Amino acid sequence: ETGVTQSPTHLIKTRGQQVTLRCSSQSGHNTVSWYQQALGQGPQFIFQYYREEENGRGNFPPRFSGLQFPNYSSELNVNALELDDSALYLCASSWYGTPPTEAFFGQGTRLTVV
């Protein structure tokens, strides 16, 4: 077990709806990164949060947004859902360092958009 928990584990939404996914980071970690993993592909970086600020963003539109809270837990919000948003959403927590430290992934949220 990594100590990183995500909720919910599975979710079905209708196209156009909004969704919020949650992640509790491992104790002692101050950085959370979110990834989208389509079936059979590698995780695609969405964004990273460090000290409650966005600290880098991948090639995702503004309808993907996030938050990090003082306890370092995080949320991923997706507005105006599209069918192509169906994927496994992974969060990974780590301790901010140079070079980057080991990331611990949660089990993921499987989102299906119909």
Partner 1 sequence: GQQVMQIPQYQHVQEGEDFTTYCNSSTTLSNIQWYKQRPGGHPVFLIQLVKSGEVKKQKRLTFQFGEAKKNSSLHITATQTTDVGTYFCAAVPDNYGQNFVFGPGTRLSVLP
Q: Can residue 36 be called a binding residue for partner 1 (CB under 8 A)?
A: no
Q: What track of x and - describes contact with partner 1 for positions 51 through 80 (by CB under 8 A)?
A: ----xx-xx---------------------
86 binds partner 1 (CB under 8 A): no
Asked if residue 105 binds partner 1 (CB under 8 A), the reply is yes
Q: How far apart are CA 54 and CA 86, in angstroms?
A: 23
Contact pick of 21, 23, 74, 106 for partner 1 (by CB under 8 A): 106
In whole angstroms, the minimum distance from the beta carbon of 102 to partner 1 comes to: 5
- In Å, what is the CA distance from 86 to each residue of 36, 39, 114? 9, 9, 8
Query: Does residue 88 sit in helix, strand or coil?
Result: strand
Task: Map residue 84 onto helix, strand or coil.
Answer: helix
Listed ranges 13-21, 61-69, 78-86, 93-101: which one lies at the site for partner 1 (CB under 8 A): 93-101
Rounded distance between C-alpha atoms, residue 92 and residue 15, angstroms: 26
Q: Which among 90, 91, 77, 101 has a CA at the least distance from the CA of 28?
A: 101
Q: Which positions touch partner 1 (CB under 8 A)?
A: 2, 31, 33, 35, 41-45, 48, 55-56, 58-59, 90, 92, 96, 98-108
